[in-house]
Amino acid sequence: MAQEANPFESLQEQIDDAAAYLDVRDDVIERLKNPERVLETNLSVEMDDGSIELFRAYRSQFNGDRGPYKGGIRYHPGVTRDEVKALSGWMVYKCAVVDIPYGGGKGGIVIDPKNYSEGELERVSRSFAKELRPFIGVDRDIPAPDVNTGQREMNWIKDTYETLENTTAPGVITGKALDNGGSEGRVEATGRSTMLTAREAFKYLDRDIEGATVAVQGYGNAGSVAAKLIEDLGANIVAVSDSSGGIYNSDGLDARDVKAFKNETGSVSGYEGTESLTNDELLTLDVDLLVPAALENAIDGDLAKDVQADIIAEAANGPLTPRADDVLTERGVHVFPDILANAGGVTVSYFEWVQNRQRFYWTEERVNDELERVIVNAFDTLVDAYEKHDLPNFRTAAYVVAIQRVVNAYDQSGNWP
Ligand SMILES: NC(=O)C1=CN([C@@H]2O[C@H](COP(=O)(O)OP(=O)(O)OC[C@H]3O[C@@H](n4cnc5c(N)ncnc54)[C@H](O)[C@@H]3O)[C@@H](O)[C@H]2O)C=CC1
Ligand SMILES: O=C(O)CCC(=O)C(=O)O
């Protein structure tokens, strides 16, 4: 099992690693390593039995130099202040690497949603929306889904905001259902960017993705969509997992059928014709491509020594610790970082926000074409930086590109006296 690393310290280390290759003053870099503000609140919510329960919740607004704060809201028992700070910082550099006009933010509630009824979850979400209301807005801070949240929670938050503000403002949040101002293609967007990154990575490394073997850790929104779209490229998904464990079949799984099985039974475990394996076994399988799509710190320095994949495309945020990065760089494993490989989610959120502002809605084909253009451009810019500056790995390349863009926006804005 991977050792805990503090994700906020990991983010700061990633920024320092890239800053070493940039001609930017230390005090400016220091500014880019810390959030502008963090809201911490205790939601008191009535449960179905009439009792009141407290839920700790956070929203971190990391940096707004390039536009409104943007980023998802996570419901998970492991949410911490430092985790939310890290996730909000990763959003800054993600939006910059794909060059969409946002800063970075992130929110989280310490809750295991499995233990609550739909009515209780609605009251928790509305209570958080009430606390968030003064801090968010179409041009201020725009939340979205993350782990254990989706269209349902986004709809509740939008409705609470609009009711309290006595207005209609669908662009205050993205990832909504289609009938509530959502965008075609948003549900699949995160996994789609992982597929596009993997496709471009194989091309760049002069390898064939058709017939390649693939393991996917985490089979939720990001992982299951990435799996099915990578399978559509002709790759062979041999192993997938979720929090209950993993399944393996050397002949390959049917990604869509496994998802249907998980929807029916609640987990991938027990899928017909498979051997079970632990998450650590999955992460160290001898495959061509590994897609971590669960949570932070899945692979630490020790586990990284046993990773046998040649290419990693990070669908999750922060799945590798900095020590794991060092080990994998040393061992020549090609890691394509989260801030590129899962940037499809926020990119299509941007498209949703644009559509909400214009009250003019796009076809799924247009969304997917525009997304492909953004991700392929970002990939090309990243490999150009990697080659031009002779950088150690693709993560550093992504941060070099992203930090420079944030610094440019900051510099061009001038100074207050
Ligand atoms: N939903 C989105 O649009 C975006 C999500 N992400 C990132 O993708 C990752 C996954 O998020 P979603 O797919 O949205 O969440 P989700 O809630 O839809 O799915 C999470 C999956 O990970 C599994 N999981 C949890 N702990 C695990 C463990 N220890 N080992 C193996 N599997 C485990 C769960 O069982 C579930 O299948 C997170 O890091 C998230 O921040 C990144 C960009 C956008
Ligand atoms: O869609 C968005 O705005 C943000 C998605 C997100 O939280 C992420 O990319 O980690």
pLDDT in tens, 259-279: 999 999 999 999 999 999 999
Q: What is the atom index within ligand 2 of the atom nearest the CA of 348? A: 1
Strand-pairing partners, residue 239, are 215, 248
- Interval between CA 359 and ligand 1 midpoint (Å): 31
- Interval between CA 314 and ligand 2 midpoint (Å): 14
36-172: which CATH number, 3.20.20.140, 3.90.1010.10, 3.40.50.10860, 3.40.50.1370?
Answer: 3.40.50.10860
Strand-pairing partners, residue 63, are 104
Q: Which residue, judged by its Cα, is nearest atom 2 of ligand 2?
A: 346
pLDDT at position 304 is: 98
- Interval between CA 188 and ligand 2 midpoint (Å): 12
Residue type, 389: H
Give the SS3 label for residue 140: coil
The residue annotated as part of the active site, out of 33, 85, 106, 114, is 106
pLDDT at position 414 is: 87
Active site residue 114: no
Side-by-side strand order, sheet with 245-248: 275-277, 245-248, 236-242, 213-217, 289-292, 311-313, 334-336
The answer to whether the complex's ipTM is over 0.95 is yes
Q: Domain map of the chain by residue range?
A: 36-172, 188-341
Say yes or no: do domains 36-172 and 188-341 share a fold: yes
Q: ∠ CA(261), CA(263), CA(265), 5° rounding?
A: 65
Q: How far is CA 337 from the centre of its chain?
A: 11
Contact 219, 274 (CB under 8 A): no
* Distance (Å, whole) CA 312 – CA 325: 11
The reply, when asked if residue 70 is annotated as ligand binding, is yes
Q: What is the atom index within ligand 2 of the atom nearest the CA of 87? A: 10
Give residue-wise pLDDT tens across range 65-117.
999 999 999 999 999 999 999 999 999 999 999 999 999 999 999 999 999 99
Contact 195, 229 (CB under 8 A): yes
- Interval between CA 249 and ligand 2 midpoint (Å): 32
The domain made up of 188-341 has a fold known as Rossmann fold (3.40.50)
pLDDT at position 76 is: 98
Ligand 1 first shell, C-beta below 6 A: 145-148, 190, 217-223, 241-243, 279, 293-295, 315-317, 342, 345
Instruction: Please report, in tens digits, the pLDDT of each residue of the chain (417 residues total).
Output: 455 799 999 999 999 999 999 999 999 999 999 999 999 999 999 999 999 999 999 999 999 999 999 999 999 999 999 999 999 999 999 999 999 999 999 999 999 999 999 999 999 999 999 999 999 999 999 999 999 999 999 999 999 999 999 999 999 999 999 999 999 999 999 999 999 999 999 999 999 999 999 999 999 999 999 999 999 999 999 999 999 999 999 999 999 999 999 999 999 999 999 999 999 999 999 999 999 999 999 999 999 999 999 999 999 999 999 999 999 999 999 999 999 999 999 999 999 999 999 999 999 999 999 999 999 999 999 999 999 999 999 999 999 999 999 999 998 998 777
Which two tokens mark 104? 């970075």
Instruction: Read off the pTM.
Output: 0.97
Q: What residues have CB less than 8 Å from 57, skipping those under 6 apart?
A: 40, 41, 42, 43, 107, 108, 109, 110, 128, 131
Ligand 2 first shell, C-beta below 6 A: 70-72, 94, 144, 146, 174-175, 317, 342, 345-346, 349
